[in-house]
């Protein structure tokens, strides 16, 4: 090897280790994805903007070499029948048991102000995309991974069990009908995980052993500022509920203290790349233990 080439190889190695696009979750990359989704403006279900956000997500998953499929459906909502699409990227593992990493990618519809949902939908979707990039390089679970993006999480009117969680309810129903739901061992849901003042409490509907693995990992890594050691979040209705109802262990990592929740101020400038990176790193580091538990069960 020539001296010049040697130095170039060394530089490339150093870049790969230090500066993003490496083996760990990159908060800047999550923010880039988030920006790409938010730039389409408000994107509630059935809109052209939401179709474009979905196209972006599917394109990113395909670029990672994942098999991508979609579920299209048209549920009745208080705004009439709306076109919705769930998106899934599949990373096959040696074991056909499935672990799901999920987020919703619709923004809530508001008639009186512009709402882009930078943290409520987009940041967690960006983080799931970034986790997919890292896990494609190295999947430490041995399991099959599904990266799932739900449409229609938000209510189109007042939140009720019929007007909410359209995408996750449809997903569980379809996979149940196909007989593939029984392969799903657990699901990890991310929602509102990018705020600057991020504080996540153990959500009370979530499966205790999943909460325990994630909090043990977070506290061992010194992230108690974000993953609060004590206290519980009140039980939340979110996209993990249809899975829990189907008997699948599920956990919702969600910040219920986000000051800009469902406000026009939920914009990109309220997000923190480093906080997103912490959540991603904790989830990533928890996966081997979650996989071990699933193989035991």
Q: How far is the CB of 292 from Zn ion (least distance, A)?
A: 33
Cβ nearer to Zn ion, comparing 75 with 152: 152
Task: Select from 20-28, 72-80, 117-125, 277-285 the region that touches Zn ion (CB under 5 A).
Answer: 117-125
Q: Mind spelling out the 3-state secondary structure of the chain?
A: CCHHHHHHHHHHHHHHHHCCCCCCCCHHHHHHHHHHHHCCCCCCCCCHHHHHHHHHHHHHHHHCCCEEEEEEECCEECCEECCEEEEEEEECCCCCCEEEEEEECCCCCCCCCCCCCHHHHHHHHHHHHHHHHHHHHCCCCCCEEEEEEECCCCCCCCCCCCCCCHHHHHHHHHHHHHCCHHHEEEEEEEECCCECCCCEEEECCCCHHHHHHHHHHHHHCCCCCCEEEEEEECCCCCCCHHHHHCCCCEEEEECCCCCCCCCCCCCHHHECHHHHHHHHHHHHHHHHHHHHHHHHC
- In whole angstroms, how close is the CB of 107 to Zn ion at the nearest point? 8
Query: Among this protein's residues, is 191 annotated catalytic?
Result: yes
Count of residues that bind Zn ion according to CB under 5 A: 2
One of 130, 163, 191, 203 is an active-site residue; which one? 191
Q: State the catalytic residue, choosing from 153, 170, 238, 266.
A: 153
| Of 30-38, 107-115, 172-180, 264-272: span binding Zn ion (CB under 5 A) | 107-115
For Zn ion, give the closer residue by CB, 88 or 108: 108
Candidate segments 108-116, 208-216, 225-233, 264-272, binder of Zn ion by CB under 5 A: 108-116
Q: Judged by CB under 5 A, which stretch of 2-10, 66-74, 106-114, 163-171 contacts Zn ion?
A: 106-114
Least distance to Zn ion, CB of residue 101, Å: 19
* Closest distance to Zn ion from the beta carbon of 55 (Å): 22
**What is the nearest approach in angstroms of Zn ion to the Cβ of residue 50?**
14
Q: Is 120 in the site for Zn ion (CB under 5 A)?
A: yes
The smaller minimum CB distance to Zn ion, of residues 108 and 133, is found at 108
Work out whether 238 is an interface residue with Zn ion (CB under 5 A).
no
Would you count residue 151 as binding Zn ion (CB under 5 A)? no
**Is 154 a known active-site residue?**
no
Residue 225 C-beta: closest distance to Zn ion, Å: 24
Taking alpha carbons only, the member of 64, 67, 85 closest to residue 75 is 85
Contact characters 51-90, Zn ion, x per CB under 5 A: ----------------------------------------
CA distances from 49 to 37, 58, 107, 113 (A): 9, 14, 10, 16
Task: Please tell me the distance from the alpha carbon of residue 121 to that of residue 11, in angstroms, as a whole number.
Answer: 37
The residue whose two tokens read 């474009």 is: 52
| Choice between 120 and 151, CB closer to Zn ion | 120
Residue of minimal Cβ distance to Zn ion: 120
Residue 136's CB is within 10 A of a number of other CB atoms, namely: 16
Binding residues (CB under 5 A) for Zn ion: these are 108, 120
- Which residues carry out catalysis? 153, 191
């Amino acid at each position: 090897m020539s001296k010049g080439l040697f130095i170039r190889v060394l530089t490339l190695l150093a870049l790969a280790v230090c500066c993003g696009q490496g083996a760990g979750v990159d908060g800047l990359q999550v923010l880039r994805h988030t920006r790409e989704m938010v730039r389409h403006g408000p994107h509630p279900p059935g809109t052209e903007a939401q179709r474009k956000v979905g196209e972006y997500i599917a394109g990113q998953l395909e670029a990672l070499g994942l098999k991508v499929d979609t579920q299209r459906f048209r549920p009745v909502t208080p705004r009439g029948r709306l076109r919705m699409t769930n998106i899934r990227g599949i990373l096959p593992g040696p074991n056909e048991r499935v672990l799901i990493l999920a987020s919703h990618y619709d923004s809530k519809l508001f008639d009186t102000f512009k709402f882009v949902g930078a943290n409520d939908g987009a940041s967690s979707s960006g983080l799931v995309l970034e986790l997919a990039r890292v896990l494609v390089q190295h999947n430490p679970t041995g399991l099959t991974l599904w990266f799932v993006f739900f449409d229609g999480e938000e209510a189109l009117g007042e939140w009720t069990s019929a007007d909410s969680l359209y995408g996750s309810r449809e997903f569980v129903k379809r996979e149940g009908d196909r007989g593939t739901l029984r392969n799903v061992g657990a699901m990890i849901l991310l929602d509102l995980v990018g705020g600057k003042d991020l504080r996540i409490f153990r959500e009370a509907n979530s499966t205790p052993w999943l909460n325990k693995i994630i909090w043990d990992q977070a506290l061992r890594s010194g992230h108690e500022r974000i993953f609060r050691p004590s206290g519980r979040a009140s039980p939340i209705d979110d996209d993990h509920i249809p899975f829990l109802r189907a008997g699948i262990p599920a956990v919702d990592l969600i910040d219920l203290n986000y000051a800009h929740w469902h406000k026009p101020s939920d914009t990109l400038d309220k997000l923190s790349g480093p906080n997103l990176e912490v959540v991603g790193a904790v989830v990533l580091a928890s996966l081997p233990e979650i996989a071990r538990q699933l193989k035991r069960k």
